[in-house]
Structure 1
C-alpha cells in the first residue's frame, strides 16, 4: 500500500473534519460552476460544447487517484477492471466504487445519482450502517449536492453552496486583492450595463496605447465567457448584444469583470488547503498549459525563481486566511501569471474548490521526487469504435510509466476515452488524461512526442 497516498488522504480528512477515522465519499462533479450562476443576468452568447459534455461528465474518474483506501468514489459507470488493476499496481485505486444502474451521458454525476433510486438507497444504507463517520466530499458544492446530502443523510465535509458561490466569483477575487493589497491587474467589476460602460471609459486608455482588454464572465470556467477586446468597435459590439437582450428581458443586470490584457511568459496555478480551524497549508505551484483560455495541463515543478516563489507563497497564505474569514475551508486553487517583465500577478482568480491539480497531488508526491519533472495533459483521440484499456496499453507499450524506470506516461483517467461513443463506425472524439514523468524537461518533451506518435495510429481512422 502507498503510504504517501494514505498520508494525503488523512491530511485532507483531518483538515475538513478534524478526524482521521472517517470515510470520504468523493463526488467529482466537474463544471459545478454553472449552477452558481445567477439565472437573472444578461450574458453574451457562447458556443455550445455539444457532445463534449459527455466527456466532461466522465472526468469524475480522476477521483480514483485522489481517494484513500477506505474511501468511496461515486462514478457514472464502474471503471474498466484493467484500468483499476493498473492503478492498483502503482499504489492507487483501492477505494470502493459506486455507480448508478444506468449512465445517461448527458447528465453530470450528481444528476445521475439523484435519478437512480437504487443508488440513493445504497448511499442511505451506507450512512446508517457505516462503522465510522461518513462525509460527502464534492469537487464543489451547489444546491444539487446539498440535495444529495440531505436525501442520503451523508453530511457534507465542506461549506454550503452559498459560500462556494460567493468566493468563486471573479469579482470577489478582485475585491479580496484590494482588501489584502495584493498586486492586481487594472480592471473593474461590473454588475450592470451602466457600470460596464463606465468601466470601459476608465480603461479605454489601454486600447489607445496599443494594448487590449478582456471581458470575463465572473462565473465562467474553462475558457468560457472570455472575450478579448482589441479595439473600441469590438467593445461596442458586445454592448450592443447585451443591450438587445436587456430590451427583450427588461433587466440590465450583468456579472462581468473588464480588465487589461497582460502579455505573459506563462500561466501559473497554486493550491492551498484550509482547515476548519483556519490553518493554511501551501500545496505547491505549477505552470498551467493554457490554449485560448482553456486549461490543457500542467508542468511541474514550476520554473520560478526563489523570489518569485516567495511572492506566490505569501499571497497563498494571506488569501487562505481571508477565505477562512469569509466562511470557506477546504482546497482552493489560484490562477496567476508571470508577465514578460518577470512580474508575478499573484491572483487573477480564485477557484475555491478542487482543481485539476488536486487530482495530481498523490501521483506527484509518490512518483515525482526531487530532480524529476511531470507534464500533466490530455490527448485528443479520434475513434470510430470502443477502445479497450488493454489495447491502449499495448499501443503505448514501452512509453507507459513503470516505477522501476521512473519514466513514462501514467494514465489517470480512461473513462473519457470512450465517453462520447454513440455507435460502431461513427467517428467521435475521446480524451486520454495522463501525467508524463521524466528526469528532465528535455526528457519530458521526448516522451510526449513518443506518446503522440504511438496514439497517432489510433487516430488514423479508415
Structure 2
C-alpha cells in the first residue's frame, strides 16, 4: 500500500516515528552547534556576534512554514497577526503556537523555555492528556533539549545529543569521505598543536604554489571559527595565539581541520531524510549563497548538469547509510562545491540537523513548480524605529507574492526584523527572510533588485 504524503511535515512524521497521527512539537533552536563545543580545548579568538544573537534567537519563527496543521510550534513571542494571516492565506501557519512567558532576547528558544516554569507545566499537561501522541522535534539536539524533553515528558523524535555532537564534527565528515571513497579536498584533521604543525608542513606547498589554506573549527557555526591562511606568516600568527593559550591553560588539545582552499563557481547544499529503519531519501540540491562563510540564502534550481547531479545523489545515499549505521536518523544537509574546473566536491561538511533548506521545503512543494525559479534569502535592515508589518507590506506592494501572478516575495519570517529593537531613535540591525518566486532567473534578479531598492528607502526614511 502506497502512503500519500500531503506535505513535508507528514513525510517527516512517517520517517521519524513510522506514524502519521502524531503531534510534532517543533523547537527551532537555531545555532544549537554552540552547545556541541567541547571543553578543555584551545580555540582561536572569534568575533562576538553581539546583538545579532537577538536576531538569531527569533529565527524560530521560520517554523511557522514547517509545522503541520495538527502540530505545535514553540515561539519566543506571538507572531504578527497580519503576517500570520498572509501565511494562512497561502496554506501555512495553521499549527498551534505556544509562546514563552517572558521573551529574554539574549536566550535561544530552549534556554528561554527552561526559564519559564508555567510554559513547561503547560507542555507537561499536554503530554499527559488522554489521546495525545506528541513528540519533540528540535532543529538539533543538545543537552538543553534533552533536559526540556525530560521536564515536559515529551519524548524526542530524534537521536541523542551525543549522536548529534559526533556526526556534526567536521573531522567526522572527512573520516567518512575517506572511508566511503568520496572525493575530498586535500587536508588534515588536527586534535593537538603538534598535529597542526605537522599538517601545515604537509600542506604548505599549496601556499608556495600561490594557493591558500583554510583553518576550520570542527564544531564552528555560521562562519565563526574559519581562518583563511594566505601565507606562512598568517599560520605562524595563529600558532602563536594558540601556543600562548596553551602555556596559560596547560593543555595542547584542539579540534580543527586544515584544508586547501578551492576556488569555486558556486556553493551547494543538498538534503537527505533518513528514516528509523535506515531508508534514505534524496530531497534535492540547491545553490547556497555564502558570504565570508555565512549562509545568505539559496537559489533554486541549481545550475548542475545531470552528470554532476548524479555525483551528488550517489554521495548523498552513501553518506545517509553511514550516518544511520552510526546512530543518526532524521534530516541531514551536506555542503558541497562546484569548482572552476567543473568538478564536484560532494561533502565539505555534514550538517546532521535541520538546515535553512528545511524551512523552504513546504513552500517549494506548494508554490514553486518545476518550471519556476526560487531565491531564498535574507535582507539586512538598518532601522531606528519599529517597522510594522503592514507598513512593510504596503511599501513592497506588487512585489509581494500573489498566487494568481505566480511570482513575488513570500515573507517567511518577520520576527527577525524588529528583534534587536530597544528604544525609539536608537539604531539597530534587523533581518527580513523570504523566498522570491519567478518564471526565470532574469525575473528573479529584477524582483530582488526592486525589493532591495524598497528596503534601502525604508532604511533611509527610518
Same fold (TM over 0.5): yes
Conserved 8 A contact 1:5-1:366: no
- 2:458: which partner in 1? 458
- 1:82: which partner in 2? 82
- 1:226: which partner in 2? 226
**What SS does structure 1 have at the residue aligned with 2:45?**
coil
Shift in Å, 1:383: 1.0
Q: Which moved more, 1:134-143 or 1:6-15?
A: 6-15
- 2:437: which partner in 1? 437
Q: CA-to-partner distance for each residue in 1:117-156, whole Å, 9 max, x for gaps? A: 1101111011001523100000000000000000100000
Structure 1 position 273 matched with structure 2 position 285: no
Distance 1:422 1:130, change over 3 A: farther
Conserved 8 A contact 1:21-1:132: no
Conserved 8 A contact 1:5-1:362: no
Structure 1 position 379 matched with structure 2 position 372: no
Counterparts in 2 of 1:109-258, with a 5 A limit? 109-129=109-129, 131-258=131-258
Aligned counterparts of 2:132 and 2:31: Cα–Cα separation in 1: 30
Aligned counterparts of 1:431 and 1:95: Cα–Cα separation in 2: 24
Distance 1:412 1:5, change over 3 A: farther
Distance 1:393 1:130, change over 3 A: farther
**What SS does structure 2 have at the residue aligned with 1:140?**
coil
Distance 1:5 1:438, change over 3 A: farther
- 1:61: which partner in 2? 61
Structure 1 position 282 matched with structure 2 position 287: no
Q: CA-to-partner distance for each residue in 1:187-244, whole Å, 9 max, x for gaps? A: 0000000000000001011111111000000000111100000011100000000000
Shift in Å, 1:461: 4.3
Structure 1 position 103 matched with structure 2 position 103: yes
- 1:20: which partner in 2? 20
Distance 1:427 1:5, change over 3 A: farther
Q: CA-to-partner distance for each residue in 1:309-361, whole Å, 9 max, x for gaps? A: 00000000000000000000000000000000000000000000000000000
Shift in Å, 1:7: 2.5
Q: CA-to-partner distance for each residue in 1:56-91, whole Å, 9 max, x for gaps? A: 000000000000000000001111111110000000
- 1:313: which partner in 2? 313
Aligned counterparts of 1:92 and 1:196: Cα–Cα separation in 2: 49
**What SS does structure 1 have at the residue aligned with 2:151?**
helix
- 1:45: which partner in 2? 45
Aligned counterparts of 2:222 and 2:393: Cα–Cα separation in 1: 29
- 1:326: which partner in 2? 326
Shift in Å, 1:6: 4.2
Q: TM-score, normalised by structure 1?
A: 0.98
Aligned counterparts of 2:231 and 2:253: Cα–Cα separation in 1: 24
Structure 1 position 356 matched with structure 2 position 319: no
Runs of 4+ aligned structure 1 residues displaced above 3 Å come to none
Aligned counterparts of 2:183 and 2:220: Cα–Cα separation in 1: 22
Conserved 8 A contact 2:138-2:145: yes
Q: TM-score, normalised by structure 2?
A: 0.98
Distance 1:180 1:258, change over 3 A: same
Aligned counterparts of 2:87 and 2:287: Cα–Cα separation in 1: 25
Aligned counterparts of 1:358 and 1:9: Cα–Cα separation in 2: 10
Q: CA-to-partner distance for each residue in 1:143-200, whole Å, 9 max, x for gaps? A: 0000000010000000000000000000000000000000000000000000000000
Aligned counterparts of 1:262 and 1:160: Cα–Cα separation in 2: 34
**What SS does structure 2 have at the residue aligned with 1:112?**
helix
Aligned counterparts of 1:450 and 1:92: Cα–Cα separation in 2: 26
User: How many equivalent residue pairs?
Assistant: 459
**What SS does structure 2 have at the residue aligned with 1:103?**
coil
Structure 1 position 345 matched with structure 2 position 345: yes
RMSD: 0.9
Conserved 8 A contact 2:408-2:437: yes
Aligned counterparts of 1:343 and 1:300: Cα–Cα separation in 2: 20
